[in-house]
Amino acid sequence: MLLQRTLTALLLAPLAILLILWPPTWLFAAAIAAAFLAALWEWTRLAGLKDDRVRGALLLAAAILFALLWRARDTALWPMLIGVGVAWWAIVCLWLRHFAFGAAPTRENLLIKLGAGAFVIIPTWVAAMTIHRSEPHGHWWTVLALVIVWAADIGAYFSGRLFGKRKLAPTISPGKTWAGVYGAFVVGALVAGVGGWLLGVQGIQLVGLLLLSMVTVVASIIGDLLESLMKRHAAVKDSGSLFPGHGGLMDRLDSVFAAIPVFAAGKLLLGL
């Protein structure tokens, strides 16, 4: 399984970086919207929605919303939505503490989870576009944000395997350990430090970026745990089977959905 996951990652990572660096932001926005809509399709399944016609209608509504948000890109709505995204992941911490909330397959819980999907996906798309279109080096800042998340995931995996004993959230995700969290902090901060230096960040701003990387790593772990919670409620192993050894799009993007709004907000606050 490790070999399969590694080969899939080695194939996907260059494609993802090319997708970030090559196109102008309007084309990047369309491509990421398509990927997020595919992830939303998987989320509706995890939420318990079985009617494909209703799922398709929700995806159409989300696509229209993306288009409308793009037209509002130079308004105060975008920073506001990034703030909403950060606040949402703070609220998720409470949900993780009360993991049985929403577990019953009722209509009310279905609606709650569908609403949660909107808070997961919409602010992240806005945050990603905000980073990508920022000047200077917006494309490279987007790469750095993703590499921090990817590197933290790798650091967590190996430090957890080598040193992990104390479980982080055994009821939700038994494989995660506190040693994995510490490893994620270290690797994420190293990547942020090197990346920030290459992007010309110096002095107190570089210190701020290192701190931001740690908060971003925390957010990425929360995003991972939320999707694990959804899968446990749905009694499935993966959100999909698109990527061998990795599951579906939600399985690959769960950390990103939480990390990007936090990184975007921190970048704005630090003036980077």
Chain-wide mean pLDDT for the chain? 91
Q: What is the pLDDT of residue 3?
A: 59
Instruction: Over range 70-79, report the average pLDDT.
Output: 95
Question: At residue 148, does pLDDT exceed 60?
Answer: yes
Question: At residue 239, does pLDDT exceed 90?
Answer: no
CA angle at 139 for the pair 133 and 142, rounded to the nearest 5°: 95
pLDDT category, 245, cuts 50, 70, 90? low
pLDDT category, 197, cuts 50, 70, 90? very high
Instruction: Look at the chain and count its residues.
Output: 272
- The span from the CA of 181 to the CA of 106, in Å, is 34
C-beta of residue 223 within 8 angstroms of C-beta of residue 256: yes
Name the percent of the chain in helix, strand, coil, to the closest 5.
Answer: 80, 5, 20
- Please state which of the ranges 38-52, 111-125, 244-258 shows the lowest mean pLDDT: 244-258
Determine if residue 203 is left, alpha or beta; phi over 0 gives left, psi from -120 to 50 gives alpha, anything else beta: left
Q: What is the pTM of this model?
A: 0.93
Instruction: Over range 184-213, report the average pLDDT.
Output: 96
